[in-house]
A = this chain, B = another copy of it.
Amino acid sequence: MSLVTEIEKYLKKLFGNRDVIEVQRNELAEFFNCVPSQINYVLSTRFTPAHGYLVESRRGGGGYVRIIKLSWNVIPQYFLKELSEDVRPGISQQDAEGVLKRLFEDELITNREYNILKAIMDRDTLALNLPERDMIRARIMQALFTTLCRDDF
């Protein structure tokens, strides 16, 4: 079994029934007798949002790598389709508002969150020209979805 797979298994076991773990990159690399960047390879190929994980990290003294388990099932399938298809690298303000409204109706976001997000995704807030504006709105929507799938808070 390849190293990447062993490290992947090790980390997944580490979760237990928690949904967030924290490791030191160098420590882990030492434990598996490999170069530190190998850890990054594991993270970027096995712990992506598509795999249901989110990775946060911090450099410097007291730095860490934090892996957060996502549960994509909180987001109904129809939303996922909407964004995962690369047919749509961008999303219009109209469509975005539609998605937000639906999220609110499905009680996945609060009224307050709805209003904040609507203001953020407004074309006057983004204030970019058209191909970029819709692209960035899509990325913001993506970030929202990913965060909604976190259940560590």
Contact = CB atoms under 8 A, between A and B. Distances in A.
25 contacts: A1-B62, A2-B61, A2-B62, A4-B62, A5-B62, A112-B147, A112-B153, A113-B113, A115-B150, A116-B144, A116-B147, A119-B143, A119-B146, A119-B147, A120-B144, A122-B143, A125-B136, A125-B139, A125-B140, A125-B142, A125-B143, A126-B136, A126-B139, A127-B139, A128-B136
A44 interface: no
Given A119-B143, A119-B144, 12 more contacts: A2-B61, A2-B62, A111-B153, A112-B147, A116-B117, A116-B147, A116-B148, A119-B146, A125-B139, A125-B140, A127-B139, A128-B132
A127 B136 CA distance: 8
Which 6 A-B pairs give the minimum distances between C-beta atoms? A2-B62, A119-B143, A125-B143, A119-B147, A116-B147, A111-B153
Interface residues of A, number: 31
A56 to B, nearest CB: 10
- How many copies make up the complex? 2
Contacts of A147: 112, 115-116, 119
Interface in A9-63: 61-62
